[in-house]
Amino acid sequence: MTTEMLKPTASESQVAVFVKGLAQEAGFDVVGIARIEDLGDDASRLMEWVAAGRQGTMDYMVRNTDRRLDPRRILPALQSIVCVALNYGEGSSEPALGHGRIARYARGRDYHKVFTNRLSQFERLLHEQFPGINTRHYVDTGPVLEKLWAERAGVGWRGKHTNLVSREWGSWLLLGEVLTDLDLKADARGEDHCGTCTRCLDACPTNAFPAPYQLDSNRCLSYLTIEHRGSIPVEFREALGDRVFGCDDCLEACPWNRFAREAREADFKPRPELLAPLLTDLVTMDDAEFLRRFAGTAVMRAKREGLARNACVALGNVGGPGALEALKRALHDSSQIVREHAQWAVDRLESKDVR
């Protein structure tokens, strides 16, 4: 439906279709609409998750709980949430010896920047067509339960690994949302198609899922390599393998990925320096080099200290040319965290008599 086709007498369904067309015009791959409603058992599960400490050191999950559970506290007149998604699928690849592994979503431009541009364009189109409306947009930067609302908007369903899964796109969707006081017809809630499959749970190298649909962040390699700022527990360091930023194991295991397709967003195409960075470079780089290489990418989230810490552990696991030399240089790093992990890696390689 084009903008010229929307009439004052348009039905609720026609308006919803029109709004979806605006989202697609702004460049989103998937769009769905959820009506504001009580979260019921989902609210209880969130509170139980936080009470059990499964958010780890992600203190922001504890803050603003009232707004997470009721987004009308963000936008008082809120009626609908337009949930949008971008596909970031790409072919898999195995890093060579001595190279690190970065999660797929972080191998191109920072998705926050891509989403912010698209969401701003979408909001502009909405305000042009519906003068006087109120909107707020987010892309995992505010107190909005994005996976929950995306499921309620029919974008997909929350799989047993707690991430969103789509029959059309598999596991490779990044999510955003626009909150609005427009009264829009909602889409049918996403239906769970996991069945008896447990491949995602079985694939986790640290047993981070105490039960289906439950995640203990304290054991998750994605959390430990990105959000966690301190020392990586020794019990999980070997399982980290060659990962330096994130982990895709549970996502890659999902059989619905047989329907996945390559991302059409050029900014999501892997950059050579992010596809399989040399671990010795990551261990020894300074702040200026870190900024030069990773500015404008999601890897900035880990900071230089976190990425060097992760690379030390990865080198201790996989070795490679120049590994010991680089790690011994890292023993003099300005960061105590990096020095600690470098020492662990040196001890590990020397115990294997790796040169």
The catalytic site residues sit at 140
Q: Are the beta carbons of 97 and 319 closer than 8 angstroms?
A: yes
CB count in 10 Å sphere of residue 214: 17
Residue 210, phi then psi, degrees to nearest 5: -65, -20
User: Which residues are CB-neighbours of 160 under 8 A, at least 6 positions away?
Assistant: 194, 197, 198, 200, 201, 209, 212, 213
- CA dist 296 and 331 (Å) reads 29
User: What DSSP assignment string belongs to 189-204?
Assistant: PPPP--TT--HHHHH-
* Contact call for residues 316 and 349 (beta carbons, < 8 A): yes
Which residues are registered as beta bridge partners of 80? Answer: 35, 180
Burial 22-61 (b: 16+ CB within 10 A, else e): bbeebbbbbbbbbebeebeebbeebeebeeeebbbeeeeb
In this structure, which amino acid lies at residue 250?
A: C
Q: Are 147 and 175 in contact (CB under 8 A)?
A: yes
Q: Are 96 and 276 in contact (CB under 8 A)?
A: yes
The DSSP result for 101-143, as a single string, is: EE-GGGSSS-HHHHHHHHHHHHHHHHHHHSTT--EEEESSSSS
**Burial profile 85-123: b = 16 or more Cβ within 10 angstroms, e = fewer:** bbbbbbeeeebeebbbbbbbbbbbbbbeebbbebbebbb
Which residue intervals of 166-278 are DSSP H helices? 199-203, 221-226, 234-237, 249-252, 272-275
Six-digit token string for 257: 């990925």
Q: How far apart are CA 37 and CA 75, in angstroms?
A: 14
